[in-house]
Structure 1
Amino acid sequence: MHLKDGTYNDQADGHGGPIKVAVTVQNGKIFQVKIIAQSETNGIADSPLAQLPPKIVQQQTYDVDAISGASMTSAGIKNAVKKALVQAGAGVTAHAEKSVKQEKAAATRQITTDVAIIGAGPSGLAAAVTAGEHGLKAVVFEKNANVGGTGSMGMGPLGIDTQIQKDNFNDISVEEAFAEHMNYTHYRVNGALVKKYFAKSAETIKWLQNMGVKFAGAFPYFKGANATWHIVQPEDGSTPGPAAASWMNKRMYHQAEKLGAKFYLKTPAIGLVKTGERLTGLVAQSGNQTYEVSAKFVLVATGGFASNKEMLHDELGLNLNEDFFDFEVPGITGDGLKMMWQAGAKKDKASETVETIFSLPHNIRYFHSDAGLRQPNLLINQNGERFMNEAEMGNTTYTGNALMLQPGHYAYCIMDGQMLDEYMETGVDIVNIVSPGNPFGGIPDEIKRAAAEHYEGIIAANTLAELAEKLAIPTGKLTQVVTDYNKMCAAHQDPQFFKPAKYLRAISGKGGYIVGKFYLAAYATLGGIRTDENMRVFGKHNQIIPGLYCSGQDANTIYGDSYNFTLPGNSMGFAINSGRMAVEAMAEQK
């Protein structure tokens, strides 16, 4: 490949918007790669922004390994450099030559293994490690270029009765947690599965620690919740936050490889293979290379369908990026569920739901505003009506459930400039461990950016009449609801929904009005099939399908209609533990 000397600028989409690069070629070689503009999330995107440019220079190719936990930023950088190199002459000819060689080498490859795992998120990774520990040969097929999946956006798993909890005098017993969870779900879940998962969770925390995973502690999600959320301590010494669990995923990935697991990245499974009534393998494909895999056991751990617009609409009546928003993790499109249904698994529509939260649309790009504007102030729907006690906004599941009942699945949370100044001094009203401790300093710049980008999630206005026009609520209606709310604040009493007096902050309009438009959102979808407590999949006639197992979000039917945030860390905890439980059940049959 011959490159023409010069500097070439181009761009490609990352997670937060376009990433612009300048690529300098000297003496026909890639000499320098510079990021000249980007709007990625601080912290999460720091590693790829710093590490990929020199790596591209060192390896003399844009096609370097992505950074785990920041796949979209990594892809944006690589694609921008690729486009710049095309300008420099690495165009169609070079890629065509490579394609011809690939086509000539293309063949169907046969693989025989004990365990074939579909998906390399936390559940698939835990399963791969467990297979190696039990002497089972494992192969893992992952459609994305790196491991971790949605789990790389998370912070850590649930643990019950762990040493970390005991050391901080906040332990909860398995018996207590089980009773609380079953009461929360009104017993509309598989109690045997819940009990086995909870009872295993403490040993799993120790198992992760033995792999080198460090935890910052065990925390509640909000006041009143149990301290079951074991937050991963990033190995670079940074403060734990969103994507902290990517360090845990790296540890599991390396341990699985060390124990003999073989990973096939950018290689999606495209079908399951049955011989008679038994699952006996799968077919996967990477480009024009096909893999036909014969396996004693197949584990599906593909993470749900939160990024599949069609499935969300058909299965749950939600419209992605219209009245519902997710984490925008690519590839979470329900492939595993569809393959299992096609192979005879019973479709359990009753178990399908979402891990409900609420957020600004595409909130990662406006992270400070998403955290700061969700304070327990006046919250109204499109009709200009309050509909809940805003003090409950700390429980994102309850608030998401309430939003699901509102027109358009959204609501407006209103404050003014004076209140924002006060928050800058005093900090948040409701503390949770996900949001920055004091996010308010970043809000003014995000308000300006929102106006420039015509972003719907943040609305600013100088007068109530202007705000009414922007919200498309009649001025008289908005004026009346604000007036009524301010009277409650003056009386220190909320006779409508009984919000505590300490959260009744009057809206004066001083400094202008600031509004966050919060939508129904979710970390992930849940369910779609049923398993027993050993993660074996049930068929259409409620029989076990021999050889077929499922773990993680596709098999997560333990919440009933609402995620249980009183025991936080639950989804990641279920993913890791169910992956281990599935393979341990396989090992008993080998």
Structure 2
Amino acid sequence: MIAKTMAALAVAALFSGSLAAATPTLKDGTYTGTGSGRNGEIAVELTVKAGKLATVNVVRHGETAGISDAALARVPAAIVAEQSAAVDAVTGATMTSDGIKAAVADAIRKAGGDPALFAVKKVGKKAAAKTIKENADIVVVGAGGSGISAAVRAETLGKSVILIEKMPTIGGATVLNAGTLIATGSRYQREVMKETKDSPELAAEDIFRVGKHKNDPVLVRMVTERVGGVVDWLIDDLKIPYGPAATQYPDHSANRQLGVTGRSVNYLNLMREKFLGMGGKLLLETRAQSFITDANGRVVGVKATDASGNTVELTSKAVILASGGFGADQTMLPPSMKNYLFYGVDGETGDGLKMARALNAGTINLDLVKMYPQGVETRPHHGLAATASSTDTMKASGAIYVNNLGKRFVDENAGLGVLTDATVAQPDSIAYIVMDKAAWEKYVAKSLEDKLVPDAAALDGWTKIVNNGRPVMAVSDSLEEAARTMGIDPKGLTETVAHWNAMVKAGKDTDFNRKLSGGLGVGPYHIVEQKVRYQTTLGGLKADAGLHILDTAGKVIPGLYGAGCVVGGANGADSMTAMMNSWAIVSGVVAAETAVKDLK
């Protein structure tokens, strides 16, 4: 909340000034302005005709697809329609909205105008709120990866479904992941990936190991036994384009990592098309508030509010709660999370968890949050997820991780959980990736492939982003100079690099037993910060193997099912790579199948 308030004040400041000193009209023409969005600079092109704002077009940005789409479409149009930049931010895309408005302010100044004259909010008369009532066999709350999967599965099983989402776009936290999925037990794994040694038991061992044995064994067993059938349904029946994941992470004991073409954004869009094509009803900007229960305590629907302030009453035979975690609500998180970067979505506010607890629902692992390494702090307390860029660079080059003493502290090719824990243990919980010219070229290529940034210039801009007196990145032909700029001990780093190159020449990493892929060569050298980041939570509601939500006594709450991050326990204290998304999809499908079976 504080971060949002500060962002709003910053935007307001851009539009402040003396009205008396303002230029009365704008000069006709086309002007470019820039502002800071969620992931970096946003550029707009403003056209002025007859002194009025004629068009506003976003011409360059690095915002996250799926999260920013509504803001990029709505905010420019609203500014033109109202002839004012004091338009409402789009829910769930506040930073993108503010970046567009700041860019328009910049363009207005270049057009000879005073932004303050265009900062007057127009208040229209609102229509009287009303009550909207609808009915379906199943209501699904939340249109992220788990919710859309549940909705599609229920429709394929012949049930009518209403899917509601509080944001203006579908996706939730799923839009941020690469769309990976484990293939354990699937036809695709056996026939295409040629993996025959994997099994639900082996996958479960990996999940428990990475989860530090804090997992709910009932859910681990369910997901490892059911995921193969879900993968076959997605690939063979729905024709979702999966193949081997582009980046293969080392925390799996078998060849089982799949990736969807076009990442999760494409998966979500394809599933939405299938859902709507089968007659499903999707209500966006509709926020669930409470459950409707009958005299016996059975959940028979949901009360919600829509963007116009209307009350929406949805009655059904079953409700699948897929509303996500609570990573965006700092008050619900352990105090230690204030030390790390949030890179998630604003909608992760624990709405469903609060609703279910009002029904005396049980919970598990509420103190556990999914953390990742390799975050880059491009905005205060917010980070870019540069994991694939760092991981692929490490596999194919001699880049290394060091702490601020200039010392290596881990096998750079270790699993993400190991890297996270190792980073937390370093001074100030910060690591640095040190790259030579060849390694940097690989880092840039992967960053562009994954659309981490819009172009290479955005990466170069990291040298200008300063946090706590140090830049996000330093570049120099001198390794010592780059180290000094980042606050790393230059002597310690040069000694580490010399020792590393000597081990590479000898053919063995005697410090951490890393698989060698070259040493550090000629510059220019790039050093990039690597901070711990998080987006969502690992704890949540207690559920059984059929995803019935259980009360505090362990009894089923009739009519209520859960899926995705609102349900806790499956991933324990940490999730194996691809398991957050695997859990979302599998739990959604299983919840739908259970609900349909219970309705018979």
Please give the TM-score of this superposition, normalised by the length of structure 1: 0.76
Residues 195 and 255 of structure 2 are in contact (CA less than 8 Å); yes or no, is this contact kept in structure 1? yes
Structure 1 residues 331 and 487 mapped into 2: Cα distance closer, same or farther (>3 Å)? same
| Alpha-carbon displacement from aligned partner over 1:269-295 (angstroms, at most 9, x marks no partner) | 233345564334333222422223333
> Residue 384 of structure 1: CA displacement?
4.5
Residue pairs, 1:45-444, within 5 angstroms = 52=73, 75=97, 95-97=122-124, 100-102=125-127, 105-156=128-179, 157-172=181-196, 176-182=199-205, 184-185=207-208, 188-209=214-235, 210-217=237-244, 221-222=248-249, 225=252, 226-234=254-262, 244-275=263-294, 277-287=297-307, 288-314=309-335, 317-319=336-338, 323-349=339-365, 352-354=368-370, 356-362=372-378, 364=384, 377-392=399-414, 395-415=415-435, 419-421=436-438, 424=441, 427=442
Residues 240 and 270 of structure 2 are in contact (CA less than 8 Å); yes or no, is this contact kept in structure 1? yes
User: Which residue number corresponds to residue 505 of structure 1?
Assistant: 519
The 2-side partners of 1:12 and 1:575 are apart by: 35
| 1:514 partnered with 2:526 | yes
> Residue 532 of structure 1: CA displacement?
0.5
The one-letter amino acid paired with 1:230 is L
| Alpha-carbon displacement from aligned partner over 1:38-89 (angstroms, at most 9, x marks no partner) | 3416x9599969x959x959x9799xxxxxxx96898578767998999899
The root-mean-square deviation of aligned C-alpha atoms, in Å, is 4.6
| Alpha-carbon displacement from aligned partner over 1:339-389 (angstroms, at most 9, x marks no partner) | 223331223236733153433224649799756765664423245543222
Residues 398 and 520 of structure 2 are in contact (CA less than 8 Å); yes or no, is this contact kept in structure 1? no
Residues 360 and 370 of structure 1 are in contact (CA less than 8 Å); yes or no, is this contact kept in structure 2? no
User: Which residue number corresponds to residue 595 of structure 2?
Assistant: 586
| Alpha-carbon displacement from aligned partner over 1:170-204 (angstroms, at most 9, x marks no partner) | 2347x713333235515653444334333433333
Paired residues, number: 544
Please give the TM-score of this superposition, normalised by the length of structure 2: 0.75
User: Which residue number corresponds to residue 554 of structure 2?
Assistant: 542
> Residue 572 of structure 1: CA displacement?
1.6
The 2-side partners of 1:439 and 1:366 are apart by: 10
The one-letter amino acid paired with 2:360 is G
The 2-side partners of 1:410 and 1:382 are apart by: 8
> Residue 442 of structure 1: CA displacement?
11
> Residue 267 of structure 1: CA displacement?
1.9
Greater CA drift, 122-131 or 201-210: 201-210
Q: What SS is found at the alignment partner of 1:318? A: helix
Structure 1 residues 536 and 365 mapped into 2: Cα distance closer, same or farther (>3 Å)? closer
Structure 2, unmatched stretches of 5+, are: 1-24, 84-91, 109-113
The 2-side partners of 1:580 and 1:305 are apart by: 22
| Alpha-carbon displacement from aligned partner over 1:545-583 (angstroms, at most 9, x marks no partner) | 222221112225223333223xxx322222122112112
Residues 153 and 593 of structure 2 are in contact (CA less than 8 Å); yes or no, is this contact kept in structure 1? yes
The one-letter amino acid paired with 1:413 is I
The 1-side partners of 2:485 and 2:528 are apart by: 12
Greater CA drift, 132-141 or 456-465: 456-465
Aligned match of 1:526 in 527, 538, 551? 538
| Alpha-carbon displacement from aligned partner over 1:474-532 (angstroms, at most 9, x marks no partner) | 555555555554554565444332334x346257xx53543121111245322222211
The 2-side partners of 1:277 and 1:588 are apart by: 20
Residues 552 and 578 of structure 1 are in contact (CA less than 8 Å); yes or no, is this contact kept in structure 2? yes
Residues 24 and 33 of structure 1 are in contact (CA less than 8 Å); yes or no, is this contact kept in structure 2? yes
| 1:558 partnered with 2:585 | no
The one-letter amino acid paired with 1:505 is G
The 2-side partners of 1:127 and 1:23 are apart by: 43
Q: What SS is found at the alignment partner of 1:303? A: coil
> Residue 123 of structure 1: CA displacement?
0.8
User: Which residue number corresponds to residue 573 of structure 1?
Assistant: 582
Residues 290 and 303 of structure 2 are in contact (CA less than 8 Å); yes or no, is this contact kept in structure 1? yes
The one-letter amino acid paired with 2:563 is S
Residues 24 and 32 of structure 1 are in contact (CA less than 8 Å); yes or no, is this contact kept in structure 2? yes
The one-letter amino acid paired with 1:232 is V
Greater CA drift, 436-445 or 191-200: 436-445
Q: What SS is found at the alignment partner of 2:151? A: helix
The 1-side partners of 2:61 and 2:154 are apart by: 41
Structure 1, unmatched stretches of 5+, are: 63-69, 235-243
The 2-side partners of 1:446 and 1:538 are apart by: 48
| Alpha-carbon displacement from aligned partner over 1:380-402 (angstroms, at most 9, x marks no partner) | 3245543222242xx32321122
User: Which residue number corresponds to residue 241 of structure 1?
Assistant: none
Structure 1 residues 266 and 6 mapped into 2: Cα distance closer, same or farther (>3 Å)? farther
The 1-side partners of 2:38 and 2:453 are apart by: 22
Residues 11 and 19 of structure 1 are in contact (CA less than 8 Å); yes or no, is this contact kept in structure 2? yes
The 1-side partners of 2:241 and 2:496 are apart by: 49
Structure 1 residues 196 and 537 mapped into 2: Cα distance closer, same or farther (>3 Å)? same
The 2-side partners of 1:390 and 1:367 are apart by: 12
The one-letter amino acid paired with 1:158 is I
Q: What SS is found at the alignment partner of 1:245? A: helix
Aligned match of 1:19 in 27, 42, 62? 42
Structure 1 residues 368 and 354 mapped into 2: Cα distance closer, same or farther (>3 Å)? closer
Residues 384 and 477 of structure 1 are in contact (CA less than 8 Å); yes or no, is this contact kept in structure 2? yes
The 2-side partners of 1:330 and 1:205 are apart by: 30
| Alpha-carbon displacement from aligned partner over 1:216-269 (angstroms, at most 9, x marks no partner) | 4466723684443332224xxxxxxxxx22122112212222333322212222
| 1:496 partnered with 2:511 | yes
Residues 219 and 545 of structure 2 are in contact (CA less than 8 Å); yes or no, is this contact kept in structure 1? yes
Structure 1 residues 96 and 31 mapped into 2: Cα distance closer, same or farther (>3 Å)? closer
